[in-house]
Structure 1
Amino acid sequence: MIEVKGNVIDKQTRCAHYHSERDVIAIKFFCCQTYFPCVHCHEEHGCGNHAVWPKERFHEKAVLCGVCQTELTIEQYMMSDYRCPHCDAAFNPGCQLHAHYYFDI
């Protein structure tokens, strides 16, 4: 099982900040190469050197489905239509509003 750091409240990567039924992804932060459920968890427990994923590295695995533990590339995640391509778990479409905290978009 991949370790997810931060204020994680369940095995599907929900955290104290985001814990709806669809909040089931974690993001590997570019700066520290560590998975966190959200930017707030990274701010509280992360490396202190926040950096976003550059576009030329969107082919790398950086998104974790908390339901099936499948790692997705950033490209796969962005083209997923808010569902895991492996287990079909629904992802929160509201996460697109925060994508700039994680990815160079």
Structure 2
Amino acid sequence: MVTVYGAVVDSATRCVHYHTDVDIIAIKFKCCGRYFPCFQCHNEERGHEVERWNWKDLENEEVVLCGSCKKELTFSEYNDGQAQCKFCSAQFNPKCALHYDLYFDLKKETQ
């Protein structure tokens, strides 16, 4: 079972910062390999800066945890799921996309 760190308020990974019905994901932080509901939970608990996932790392790495079914998803499974879990169809908060830059560096490197 995956442990979710931070100011978690329920078993669906909601936290004191984000706790609507659809705030049910946790993100694995590259810098420490731990799941947190949000960047604020990470910053309050950890003593280091956030290291963002780059697009190459995201190809195969499971980085999102569904708080409903507890399955881990790759970024593309999460992002392509139209704000719902591909395993259990639980609805995710579509506004999380507004914060992608805090967790993910999605710029592809040019050669």
Does the alignment reach a TM-score above 0.5?
Answer: yes
Which is greater in Rg?
Answer: 2
2: CA distance, partners of 1:41 / 1:51: 15
Alignment partner, residue 45 of structure 1:
45
Alignment: residue pair count: 105
**Mapped partners of 1:84, 1:5: distance in 2:** 21
Bigger mean CA offset, 12-21 vs 69-78: 69-78
> How far, CA to CA, are the matches of 1:20 and 1:46 in structure 2?
24
> 2:13 is matched with which residue?
13
Percent identity of equivalent pairs: 47
Look up the match of 1:32.
Answer: 32
In the other structure, the counterpart of 2:105 is: 104
Q: CA RMSD in A?
A: 0.8
- Structure 2, unpaired ranges of 5+: 107-111
Tell me, in whole angstroms, the C-alpha distance in 2 between the residues paired with 1:47 and 1:61: 24
CA contact (8 A) 2:43 2:49 kept: no
Letter in 2 for 1:57: D
Once the two structures are superposed, the pairs formed by residues 23-102 of structure 1 within 5 Å of their partners are 23-58=23-58, 59-102=60-103
SS for the counterpart of 2:82 is: coil
